[in-house]
Structure 1
Amino acid sequence: MAPEGNTITATRTSLRIVEALKRLDGAGVTAVADDLGIAKSTVHNHLQTLEDEGYVTNEGDAYRVGLRFLELGEYKRNRMAIYEKARPEVASLAQETGEMANAAVEEHGEGVYITRAEGTQAVTVDTYAGKRVKLHCTALGKTILAELPEERVDEIVDAHGLPARTENTITDRTELKAELAEIRERGYAYDREERLPGLRCVAAPVVPEDGDLVAALSVSGPTTRIEGDRFHEEIPELLRSAANVIEINMAYS
């Protein structure tokens, strides 16, 4: 992150307004101003500029995030080697398990889903390509943290905290680090209803030949189906196999 003295206030305000539109699922000038605690005239000027440039749309009495961001996100994602290599393996995991399969990467200390696929029994959850999540409360995120240097883990926790999403979320730094050590030892991570009640998840890292983590893969589903040997043996093996395929493809293609 750039030093505070090097940041541009107007740019930061525009981005905060865009985030508010997403959080509020579209809103008028007054609602955005109230949400952010800034003047309505300021909000209006920024929204007008963003609309003129094609980044937001004005639908009656509400502004909404525009599809220009989809164009930018797709451009970024399509330039990532891991995306093309992970996409077919994620689809195969969904088909084999019947559940939701995902791939995610770390960016600015958060997990970002880059691709997902739904099996025939997959439950509807709040994930989608581009969604950002805290790393400490997901199997994907803990897998990523387990592969990072301890100094980087501390930086992420300092910046983002360990907020509770459910009663099962790890909110203590010492406990988190102990779990990360276990994940490194066994090679995969569990989410035991730590982000969403009723949902379990297993994740494994994608670590190419050079030893640098590039992504994590996961399979998630309801606790009634993700249990016993399926939770502890079957799905972890499928994930490690898929991760190995991706690692080989990245090394030799």
Structure 2
Amino acid sequence: MARNIPRQVDSARKTCRIINMLQEQGCVGVTELANELNISKSTVHGHLATLTDEGLVVKENHTYRLSLQFLRIAESVKSGVADPDTVREQVRELADETGEVVHFGAKEGGHVVYCEKDRGDSAVQTVSKIGERMPLHSTSLGKGILAELPRNEVDQIIQEHGLPERTPNTITDVEDLNHELDKTSSRGYSIDDEENIPGVRCIGVAVNVPGTETMGALSISGPSRRMTDERITNDLQEQIAQTANVIEVNSLYS
């Protein structure tokens, strides 16, 4: 049976490519956009003129950049997961308390997307960025989310996205991942044991906000030598659980 593939619009794809390049490069001229994207200058100019007229792009001299309207769009998207102000405040407080890197992320398709990030005084530098998509199976954020999902949905995600190896510690076997998700459910938190970034260990918990369709999660990340089992069990487990609860309650009544 032939697959029913929705019709795609080439002009919309070109607009998305232009927006993505503006996001990556900042201020860019028509010629550079045309050369990088292999699109005619007249076509690029037409798309930019439309985006500028809609307020999504700003022209500065002979270059173009994304407008600040994307901030409003981003905050609106975040509010569909949890109250953005509460998340921002709680992530900052948890980073201050633990001294480590704290992330809040949300499930989108077969990935987890970073929505908020803050660094404590002792935190190591990480390359993670807000808006970046990461695998579910190799991150504590993602495993916390997967443990909350029905197993048939987990199986579907694995079938579609696989279990790619990020480090030698990444779980790449379905049976092993299911066992790990069982452990996550029973103890109430997930662990990324250098499975996403070598030398970095993380604890994560899911954040469930009734009335929203998107599943969120919190994580604390730090050097493996600091993120010991003892510290996770005695300190971080309770701290991250309390923060998740504050986000859930405040988002519910915001």
After TM superposition, the score normalised by the length of structure 1 is 0.79
Q: Distance in 2 between matches of 1:164 and 1:23?
A: 26
**In 1, Cα distance between the equivalents of 2:124 and 2:173?**
30
Counterparts in 2 of 1:250 and 1:38: CA distance versus 1, 3 Å: closer
Change (3 A) 1:21 1:206: same
User: What's the counterpart of residue 99 of structure 1?
Assistant: 100
8 Å CA contact 2:29–2:62 kept in 1: the answer is: yes
For the 8 Å contact 1:27–1:62, the answer to whether it is kept is yes
Deviation string for 1:164-184 (max 9, x for gaps)? Answer: 322222233333222222211
CA distance in 1, matches of 2:213, 2:75: 24
1:178 is matched with 179
Whole-Å Cα distance in 2 between the matches of residues 50 and 213 of structure 1? 29
Local SS of the residue matching 1:164: coil
Change in Cα spacing, 1:70 to 1:160, as seen in structure 2 (3 Å) is farther
Identical-residue share of aligned pairs (%) = 42
Residues 162, 60 of structure 1: alpha-carbon distance in 2 compared, 3 angstrom cutoff: farther
**Alignment partner, residue 50 of structure 1:** 51
Matched, 1:164 2:165: yes
- Give, in whole Å, the separation in 1 of the partners of 2:165 and 2:237: 26
1:193 aligns with 2:200: no
Structure 1 residues 247 and 66: alpha-carbon distance in aligned structure 2, compared to 1, 3 A threshold: closer
Report matched runs for 1:106-145 at 5 Å. Answer: 106-145=107-146
**Cα shift readout 1:133-158 (whole Å, capped 9, x = no counterpart):** 22122100111111111222233333
Provide the rounded CA distance (Å) in 2 between the counterparts of 1:208 and 1:68: 27
Number of equivalences: 251
User: C-alpha offsets along residues 50-87 of structure 1, whole Å, 9 cap, x if unaligned?
Assistant: 35544345678876544332231123324654434433
- SS of equivalent residue, structure 1 residue 5: coil
Deviates more, 1:117-126 or 1:27-36: 27-36
User: Residues 106 and 115 of structure 2 are in contact (CA less than 8 Å); yes or no, is this contact kept in structure 1?
Assistant: yes
Contact 2:51 2:57 (8 Å CA) reproduced: yes
> In 1, are the aligned partners of 2:81 and 2:213 still within 8 Å (CA)?
no
Gaps of 5+ in 1: none
Checking the alignment, whether the CA contact within 8 Å between 1:82 and 1:215 is kept in structure 2 is: no
- Greater relative contact order (CA < 8 Å, ≥ 6 in sequence): 2
| TM value normalised by structure 2 | 0.79
Partner Cα distance (2:29, 2:168) in 1: 35
For residues 31 and 172 of structure 1, the distance between their equivalents in structure 2, rounded to whole angstroms, comes to 44
Q: Is the 8 A contact 1:73 1:130 kept in 2?
A: no
Return 5+ residue gaps in structure 2 as ranges.
none
- Over the aligned positions, Cα root-mean-square deviation in angstroms equals 3.3
- 1:147/1:213 contact within 8 Å kept: no
